[in-house]
Structure formats: structure tokens, C-alpha cells
Amino acid sequence: MNIGLTQFLVLSAALFCIGLYGILVKRNLFSILMCIELMLNGVNISLAAFNYFLPMPDLSGQVMMIFSITVAAAEVAIGLALIFRIYHDFNTVNIDKINNMKG
């Protein structure tokens, strides 16, 4: 059986859904950040597969992946800074205990 676009898209959907499950069910800020990265990687796989299998004249899909990776890197930097700030203020990284609007 040949590998086509469908197999890659199903794989990326599986990664996206596992990441969604982790985001909704986890209570630690670091695991939520990891699951966001998982979802972004699922989307990146689908972009690469579209770029490979669709009749495109150039590599626009891979350029989109470069931008997506850039945004993900910026998001990790800001996310980690926010988590350190929250840990400094609340002394916890469990989102159930961060329910105080006054800080």
C-alpha cells in the first residue's frame, strides 16, 4: 500500500487530538505548554505533507512551517516567562490554585 496524503493527515489529526486531550485534562502549566507544542507539531506535519503531495510549483508550505516554528519559539519564551512570574507570585504552577484575580 502506498503512503499518500491521507495517512499523514490522519497522523496529524491524531497528534492534534492527543494534544487537545492533554491541554484540557492537565493541571500543571508545564504539561499544558508541552501539549500546545504537540498540537503545533501536528499542524506542521500536515503542512509538510500538503507541500509534498499537492502539485505546487515551489516550497510555500515549508515557508509556512518556518513561520509556524518561529511563532512557536516566541510562544515558548513568553510562556516560560509567564510561568516563572506566576510561580514567583503564587508559589505554585497548578492552575487550580491560581484563582485570585488580585495577584
Partner 1 sequence: MNNAMDTVLFYVLALIVIIAACGIVYCKNLVHSALFMTLCFISIAGLYVLLNADFLAAVQLMVYAGTVVILIALGIMMTRRISMDRSNMAERKYTGWVKCISVVLFICLSYIFINFPVPLAKVNTVQDTVAALAQLLLGHYVLAFEIAAVLLLAAMIGAVVLAKGADDK
- The answer to whether 41 contacts partner 1 (rule: CB under 8 A) is yes
- The answer to whether 9 contacts partner 1 (rule: CB under 8 A) is yes
Helices (H), 54-97: 60-90
Q: Which of residues 68-97 bind partner 1 (CB under 8 A)?
A: 69-78, 80-85, 87-88, 93, 96
Taking the complex as a whole, the smallest distance from the CB of residue 36 to partner 1 amounts, in Å, to 11
C-alpha distance from residue 12 to each of 5, 63, 72, 78, 83 (Å): 11, 18, 17, 25, 28
- The answer to whether 98 contacts partner 1 (rule: CB under 8 A) is no
Closest CB to partner 1 among 9 and 98? 9
Q: How far apart are CA 92 and CA 25, in angstroms?
A: 18
- The answer to whether 55 contacts partner 1 (rule: CB under 8 A) is yes
